[in-house]
Amino acid sequence: MEIDGSGAIVGGGASGLGAATARRLHAHGAHVVVADQNVERGTILVDELGERATFVATDVTDPDAVQAAVSAATEQPVPLRIAVSCAGIGWAGRVIGRRGAHALEPFETVIRVNLIGTFNVMRLAAAVMAENEPNAGGERGVCVNTASIAAFDGQIGQIAYAASKGGIVSMTLPAARDMAPFGVRVCAIAPGTFDTPLLAALPEDAREELRRVVPFPSRFGRPEEFAALVAHIVGNEMLNGEVIRLDGALRMPPR
């Protein structure tokens, strides 16, 4: 799938991995809709990008809000062919801790934002893509979702986050199979420790420990590296139904 001349929607596109992805797709010629709750950051980003960039205030858990963002993408002069979901939150808590059982509400919230929000963007964007004219290879669109190595190596206290990202991993193959007759591909990226606002919230000693355990390169991933992989997935039509770890060979220890 060619990025140049395609429409793209990036859920959670106002910061971190999403912002880097929006910049990359835009630099390669896409018309980008940044869909995010953060109005200030989203507006700043599209002002930076200039033409071919639109911001739509979007709660990815709200079907009407996501539909509005998808509709904004379809109003562009090029067809919507690319959907990337990067919106996500975290929560630290053990199944059983000093205060008893893990609270249900934060678990539900993480699942709702990370997993259901991702599904929301994918399903509504893909429904539009399925109506596109196919390219020479029969493709009509590409969906790239954001999982995490926590789906495989969830640490102590990551029960909610790991469950949400595990759901994204598990729905990748069936989603790709569901949409194969329509020429819409689906992949997921499972990042390791990337230098994003979510990671920036950790204490510096915790950040240093996370940096130290990455085999090579022994540093945090850069959002631009995530965005580069998104661009490669879009351009490589044989990548479908796959979850790709992007982690510098990191395997997370229990804690």
| Residues 218-250 pLDDT 10s | 999 999 999 999 999 999 999 999 999 999 999
Give the catalytic positions in this structure: 161
In a domain, 255, yes or no: no
The answer to the question of residue 214 being in a domain is yes
Low-confidence ranges of the chain (pLDDT < 70): none
pLDDT of residue 169: 98
Q: Classify residue 2: in a domain, yes or no.
A: no
Answer yes or no: is 235 within a domain: yes
The pLDDT value recorded for residue 186 is: 98
pLDDT at res. 204: 84
Instruction: Examine residue 250 and state whether it is found in any structural domain, yes or no.
Output: no
201, part of any domain = yes
Q: How many angstroms separate the Cα of 232 from the Cα of each of 2, 166, 173, 221?
A: 10, 23, 19, 17
Residue 67 lies inside a defined structural domain of this protein: yes
Evaluate whether residue 251 is within a structural domain. Answer: no
The 10s digit of each residue's pLDDT in 43-55 is 999 999 999 999 9
3 state SS for 180-248:
HHHCEEEEEEEECCECCHHHHCCCHHHHHHHHHCCCCCCCCECHHHHHHHHHHHHHCCCCCCCEEEECC
Provide the CATH number for the domain around residue 162.
3.40.50.720
pTM of the predicted model as reported, rounded to 2 decimal places: 0.95
Q: How many domains does the chain have?
A: 1
Query: Which residue range(s) make up the domain with 125?
Result: 7-245
